[in-house]
Each structure stands twice: as structure tokens, then as C-alpha cells.
Amino acid sequence: MVLTEPARRKRELRRDLLAVRAALAADEVAQAAETLAERALELPELAAAGTVAAYVSVGREPGTGPLLRTLRERGVRVLLPVLLADNDLDWAEFDGHGRLVESEHAGRVRLLEPAGRRLGRSAVTWADTVLLPGLAVDGAGLRMGRGGGSYDRALARVAESAAAPALVALVYGHEVVERLPSEPHDRPVHAALTPEGVHRFGR
């Protein structure tokens, strides 16, 4: 398979960004998760949300554990992704960390997902706010993920629906960059949230 120039540059950027994340100490990651939760809960997009689509962080990703717990304690309905065999995403409701199970389709990565009833691929469109993983976000709001395309498909469903949820990517401060290589399927987010604060883009 011949990569386009933007795809090749993305692959190189992913490698570099993942190397920086891998070098983070466990206590840095834990502290960033607590701070990120505090910042997130100050966002108007979450304060007013009845339903939030989120995800369970893995490895050295900005941690979502404290945020998921607090959202549930506040009575927010939280939807989490369930990875399918074709790399697309179904969704299920989060009802506590004790009810998470390992994904059957995650390969070498240990992904956790809800054990409960599957709600369908379009359930992401029910959310008032969608919290997205990412490796970087640029000044135009373009988000770069890990390259599997799962969230590209989910965001395409959101774009095609009548829903207009707020799209917020969770990244580290150094991962907000001036410009990323872009491809036709890339969709901008409305904000990038880091432990240091929020960066807003056009909506």
C-alpha cells in the first residue's frame, strides 16, 4: 500500500508523539488525569450535558478514570465505545469501572469497554458532548488519532445526523500544535482540553 504524503507524515508524527508519551512517569500521568478531570468539569459543554460519549484511557493517554467516575456521580449518562471486529465502534452505557471488560478485538492493546447492552453504532449521536482521544490537535481544530479510523467513522455519523454535539479532544499541552497534515476524512473538533487548560476553535 502506497501512503499519501499526509499519511506518511502522520505516521512519523504518531511515532514521535507516542515516544514522548511512553517516557512519561506513572505519577505524571496520574496527576495529569486528576487535573484533566478538574478542568473538564469546568467546561460549559459538560456542565450542561445530560449524555456524554467518552472513552476509557489506556497506557499513557491523558487519563479519563477520575472524570468518568465524577460524571457518573453527577448523574450524567456516559456512553463508552465498544470496538468491533471491523474496527468500527458500537456504544454501551458506563455503569462503573467494576463493570468494564477487556475488548475481544483490541489486539495487543488492553482496551476496556462496558459489559452491558450494546446500543448501536449511531448511539454516539445521542451525546450532548463527545470526548475524543487523540495524539495531537492543531490550531484549526484538526485532530490526529492513532490511525485506526474508528473515531473518523463515529465523527462521520455525527456530522451526518441532526445532532450537533460539542466535540472535545483530550490531549497533553505539548500535543496542541500549530498545524497537522490533513486528509479528506479529517474532521475538526470544537475544543482541545489539556491539563493546563482549554483551547477553543470555531464552531
Domain annotation for the chain: domains and CATH numbers:
5-196 (3.40.50.10420)
pLDDT at 13 over 60: yes
pLDDT at 198 over 60: yes
pLDDT value at residue 15 = 93
pLDDT value at residue 197 = 93
pLDDT value at residue 3 = 74
Top-confidence residue, 202 or 166: 166
Radius of gyration of the chain (CA): 16
The residue type at 129: T
Percentage with pLDDT > 70 across the chain: 96
For strands 51-53 and 77-83, give the pairing.
Answer: parallel
Average pLDDT on 130-137 reads: 95
Determine the Cα–Cα distance for residues 33 and 73; give it in Å rounded to an integer.
17
pLDDT value at residue 122 = 95
Q: What angle do CA 165, 170, 171 make, to 5 degrees?
A: 150
pLDDT tens-digit series, residues 138-169: 999 999 988 788 898 999 999 888 778 999 99
Q: What is the mean pLDDT of the chain?
A: 91
Q: What is the pTM of this model?
A: 0.93
